[in-house]
């Protein structure tokens, strides 16, 4: 049997709906965090983040010339790394 909270509304019903709201909110937050991490990983994989860091470091706007310079710098860095095997 449910008790009344004084305003003729059952206490148990209020607690259940609040718990559902909290659960949905937690699921939404976890989904958003997961998507954010996934998007950041894709940006790293496809070197978008590295290009943005290059633009900030060089203090230039994105352009074909800036992207060419970024690619040259990236290739130079890869060529200097010691080869394994």
Domain boundaries in the chain?
10-46, 47-80
Instruction: Give residue 9's pLDDT.
Output: 58
**Predicted structure pTM score:** 0.62
Residue 58 gets which letter from DSSP?
Answer: H
Give 4-47 pLDDT, tens digit per residue.
555 565 556 667 778 888 888 999 999 999 999 999 999 999 99
Rounded Cα gap, residues 76 and 16, in angstroms: 61
User: How many Cβ atoms sit within 10 Å of the Cβ of residue 60?
Assistant: 13
Of how many residues is the chain composed? 85
- Please report the pLDDT score of residue 23 as a whole number: 86
From CA 73, how far away is CA 21, in angstroms rounded?
51
Spell out the long-range contacts of 15-22 with Cβ–Cβ below 8 A and sequence spacing 24 or more. none
């Amino acid at each position: 049997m449910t008790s009344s909270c004084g305003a003729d509304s059952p206490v148990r019903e209020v607690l259940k709906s609040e718990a559902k709201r909290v659960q949905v909110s937690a699921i939404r937050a976890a989904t958003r965090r997961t998507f954010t991490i996934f998007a950041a990983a894709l940006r790293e994989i496809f070197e978008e983040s590295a290009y943005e860091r290059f633009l900030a470091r060089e203090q230039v706007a994105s352009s074909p010339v800036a992207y060419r310079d970024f690619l040259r710098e990236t290739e130079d860095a890869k060529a200097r790394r010691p080869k394994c095997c």
